Chain A
Amino acid sequence: MKLDYKALQEDLRRTGYIADDGLSMALALAIGLQRPLLLEGEAGVGKTAVAKALAAALATRLIRLQCYEGLDANATLYEWNYQRQLLAIRAHEREQRPADEIERHIFSADYLLRRPLLEAISQPVSPVLLIDEIDRADEEFEAFLLEILSDFQVTIPELGTVAAQSIPYVVLTSNGTRELSDALRRRCLYSYLDFPDEAKELAILRARLPGIDQRLGEQIVRFVQLLRRQELEKKPGIAETLDWASALIGLDIRALDANAAALQASLICLLKTEADLKAVPPEVAARLVGKVA
């Protein structure tokens, strides 16, 4: 087991994702040990982006399973294409073919709809499997997922057992809307992502928007950092920072203190609830700008 997390960090940087040492080590371990990695953290700190960046850095496919309440095994593994099957049955009846031949035909791989989990284990090259917002799925689904993640094989009654051709790199994310089971936590490596500090956020901003003016970039990052310390319902994440920076560039604002009205209007990129918008009236915004300019 050779772990070179610095090299991985560099690879991620090249794809435009700035990972700190802790996260790079977590990813390197997940790859080295072939264990799933559970990422937790506030919304907007870049949990989903990690998986995308990892897939890009490893030059492999990203397969995403978005969890939601009521998600079940059928929706994640496979489904038969029933409509096509029914059509095929009708068509073959005219041809007077024997029933068992029809059955073999309609339960062949042609009629199988692969869902993300089955798709992920039937790739020739290890893909990155992103299981997003696992906390939204039900607890029963967690148990099922554990089984898949330990065996990496799926049994389809009509076709037989499909064993994994390659073990996917699994990244799970959770927003903490529900406590995850201890079994799942024990099975996974764990990493908690916090909002980035000023230096890291500036590095991210530069990586994503290379053309941005040096001084404006610093102002933006410092402003957002201050904003996160305000009492807000929903703190702006990195994605919001990037959106806002693009918006400011689009509005041709060179410095935050240049145009108070436009600045106030552009805050909708950062503040996503009515209460938060009301919590940052022009006076507060002006005070924050005064601190960063």
Chain B
Amino acid sequence: MSASAAGPVARLGGFMAHLRRNGFAVGPGETEAALAFLAAGDPTDAVAARLGLKTMLTGDRGQWQRFDALFDAYWFGSGVRAARRAEAKGGAPEEARRPEIWSKALPAEDRAEAAQAAALADASAEEDARRAGTGRLVASRQQALARTDLRHLVSPEDVAAAERLAERLARVLRYRLSRRRLPARRGDAVDLRRTIRRNLGKGGEPAELLLKHRPERPVNLVLLLDVSGSMRLYSRYLISFARGLIGGWLRADAFVFHTRLIHISDVLRERDRLRAMDRLSLMVEGFGGGTAIAGALKAFNDRYARACLNARSIVILMSDGYDTDPPERLAGELARLKRRARRLVWLNPLLGWRGYAPVARAMAAAMPYIDCFAAAHSLESLAALEGELARL
């Protein structure tokens, strides 16, 4: 490791800043620990230094996998220019995670570097794309790369109403009984520990019984929103609806999908509504294209399901069920989903249309796995959900 002219301490400080720009949560405490570690170790053993710093400075799997590239970029100079470019674009972590968005804006000769930067980044987006099967030459899968402006689809009042409604629904769904017992005035079991302590003054005679009960516990919520072309008219207010649900929730995750699946929880939690929509339209490139519901569900099952779902999860899927994947695949993925989640709710805007029956082949295949199938074409229909969801 080079203790160059700047001095090893300054160089390490620079490395920490480099990590911070790439989304690592490292502060002065970590810098100090790292310095102590390097001072104690053999200065010529770069392998040990790398392994040690990796253990000390990473905090999750994504960081663990990116660390080596970042380490090389800083200490051995490879890919440095690309990393700087990402930084110059501002908000480095976000950019680093989705390099393909800004790489299109680069002149052609810089593509190679951009590719290097992409290698630096958590390759989640590309992986999603691969899993969702984009790039296959099927006409209806063509991604509409034009960025659809989400703002003009429905009037602002409707959007606000959808959000309020969603918050109300969120409250209905929020709690279910827990298995853990807590002290309570009216409980169904005797809390021995507290009873004995309370009755010590009475010579241990359990004169006063203290009870415990099963409190209500928060339910997990996972939203999967279809934002493909056929759902275009509804997307704007369904996303507001999602924002309302996510906003007041302790544990919730939201995803949108068209031909691939994108995680949008962080964006929906953004306080500034306009900024959230801007970030969203950037992320949801291809908004308004074809649909691959089964592909998106597969991506979800493979990648996120283990972390997002447990036996208390309710999955809400909003889609019209027009799928380009074969219906058997959809049924298979829904079956996988159902094994992990407690309830599956499918909201279908088309259900509000007079004379609609779920005959789209994908929809018919999905019916056996759905616990609650309801309309979502208007605010009234969403309001009607309250009773349905409370029963789940």
**Do A and B interact with each other, yes or no?**
yes
* Mask: chain A, 87-101; 1 = CB below 8 Å from B; 0 = not: 001100100000100
B196 adjacent to A177 (CB under 8 Å) = no
Given contacts A70-B178, A182-B25, A190-B64, contact A25 B48 (CB under 8 A): yes
Inter-chain CA distance A190–B64, complex, in Å, is 8
Which residues of B in the span 278-307 have a Cβ within 8 Å of any Cβ on A?
Answer: 306-307
B71 to chain A, nearest CB (A): 13
Q: Are A192 and B36 within 8 A (Cβ)?
A: no
Q: Does A74 contact B (CB under 8 A)?
A: yes
Total interface residues on B, using CB and 8 Å?
Answer: 33
State in angstroms the CA–CA spacing of A72 and B179 once bound together: 12
Q: Is the CB of A189 within 8 A of B55?
A: yes
Task: Give chain A nearest CB distance to B360 CB in angstroms.
Answer: 26
CB-contacts of B314-367 with A (<8 A): 336
Distance (whole angstroms) from the CB of A232 to the closest CB of chain B: 11
Q: Is the CB of B55 within 8 A of A177?
A: no
In whole Å, how far is B253's beta carbon from the nearest beta carbon of chain A? 10
- Please state if B61 and A21 are interface contacts (CB–CB under 8 Å): no
Report if A79 contacts B (CB, 8 A): yes
Q: Give chain B nearest CB distance to A156 CB in angstroms.
A: 12
Q: How far is the CA of A99 from the CA of B37 in the complex (A)?
A: 57
Cβ–Cβ contact B336 & A25, under 8 A:
no
Whether B60 and A185, one on each chain, are in contact in the complex, defined by CB atoms closer than 8 angstroms, is yes
- B 17-48 to A, binary, CB cutoff 8 A, 1 in contact else 0: 00000000100000001001100110000011
Contact A29-B58, Cβ < 8 Å, known A22-B51, A74-B193:
no
Q: Are B41 and A3 in contact (CB under 8 A)?
A: yes
A86 on the interface (CB 8 Å rule)?
yes
Is there an interface contact between A5 and B307, defined as CB atoms closer than 8 Å?
no
A176 at the interface (CB under 8 A from B): yes
Asked if B36 and A1 sit within 8 Å, CB to CB, the answer is yes
Q: Smallest CB–CB gap between A158 and chain B, Å?
A: 9
Inter-subunit contact A33/B60 (CB<8 Å): no
Instruction: Report B-chain residues with C-beta under 8 Å of the C-beta of A189.
Output: 55-56
Chain B residues lying within 8 Å of A138, measured Cβ to Cβ, are: 180
Assembled-state Cα–Cα distance A106/B63 (Å): 51
Q: Which residues of B contact A85 (CB under 8 A)?
A: 196, 204
Kindly state whether residue A80 has any CB partner on chain B within 8 Å: yes
Q: Does B3 contact A (CB under 8 A)?
A: no
Bound CA–CA A93/B196 (angstroms): 16
Please count how many residues in chain A sit with their CB below 8 Å of the partner chain's CB atoms: 43
Indicate if the CB atoms of B310 and A177 lie closer than 8 Å.
yes
Residues 13-37 of A, flagged 1 when their CB comes within 8 A of B and 0 if not, give 0000000011001100100010001
User: Residue on B with the closest CB to A90?
Assistant: B204
Q: Is residue A198 within 8 Å, beta carbon to beta carbon, of the partner chain? A: no
Q: A186 to B56: give the CA distance in the assembly, Å.
A: 9
Which B residues touch A82, using CB under 8 A? Answer: 192-193, 196
- The smallest beta-carbon distance between A25 and chain B, in angstroms, is 4
B180 touches A70 (CB 8 A): yes
User: CA separation between A22 and B55, bound complex, in Å?
Assistant: 8
Closest to A28 in B: B52
Does B145 reach chain A (CB closer than 8 Å)? no
Separation of A35 and B178 alpha carbons in the complex (Å) = 33
Q: CB-CB < 8 A to B203: which residues of A? A: 89, 93, 99, 102
Which chain A residues lie closer than 8 Å to B156 at the CB level? Answer: none
> Cβ of B200 < 8 Å from any Cβ of A?
yes
Q: Which residues of B contact A178 (CB under 8 A)?
A: 307, 310
For A166-178 the 0/1 string (1 means CB < 8 A from B) is: 0000000001111
- Give the residues from 229 to 256 in chain A that come closer than 8 angstroms, CB to CB, to chain B: 233
Give me 15 A-to-B residue pairs in the complex whose CB atoms sit less than 8 angstroms apart, sorted by A's number: A3-B37, A3-B48, A3-B52, A26-B51, A29-B52, A29-B55, A70-B179, A82-B192, A85-B196, A90-B204, A102-B204, A176-B61, A182-B59, A190-B63, A192-B61
- What 10 A-B pairs come out closest when comparing CB atoms? A70-B180, A89-B204, A25-B51, A185-B59, A192-B64, A26-B55, A1-B40, A82-B192, A189-B55, A190-B58
Instruction: Please report A residues at the B interface, Cβ cutoff 8 Å.
Output: 1-3, 5, 21-22, 25-26, 29, 33, 37, 40, 69-70, 72, 74, 79-80, 82, 85-86, 89-90, 93, 99, 102-103, 106, 138, 175-180, 182, 185-186, 189-192, 233
Q: A176-B61, A190-B55 are in contact. List 14 more A-B contacts (CB 8 A).
A: A1-B37, A3-B52, A5-B48, A21-B47, A25-B51, A25-B52, A69-B180, A70-B180, A89-B203, A99-B203, A175-B306, A176-B306, A180-B60, A189-B55
